[in-house]
Amino acid sequence: MNTKILPISDFIRKFGMYADMLPIIDELILTRDGRPYASVRAMPEVKNQHLMKAIGGWKGTDLDDDAFWKKVLKRKNRKNLGIIP
């Protein structure tokens, strides 16, 4: 879980910076007098928009190969690997 804890006064002063961080992190926990006071999360739609920007990032690279991913994602039998006796 990617959570950041910070004082509420810091959140108010640097709101723009923390607002840009919200799609990347899970949650911001705001403290008041050193104790948790509130939690802030990005809406799921905002997180999805952020993820959609990354789609196609591998286009034209070595990772843009269906055979490569088929091999990586192939399920392996743990008995044949010698893990299970």
The CATH fold assigned to 3-73 is YefM-like fold (3.40.1620)
56: how many CB neighbours lie within 10 A of its CB? Answer: 9
Check residue 61 and report its DSSP letter: S
Strands of 3-7's sheet, edge to edge?
A: 3-7, 27-32, 35-40
pLDDT of 77: 66
Residues 6+ apart with CB under 8 A from 39: 27, 28, 29, 30
pLDDT of 83: 62
Q: Which two tokens stand for residue 46?
A: 């905002």
Q: Write out the H or E segment, with its range, that includes residue 23.
A: none
In the chain, which stretches have pLDDT less than 70? 1, 77-85
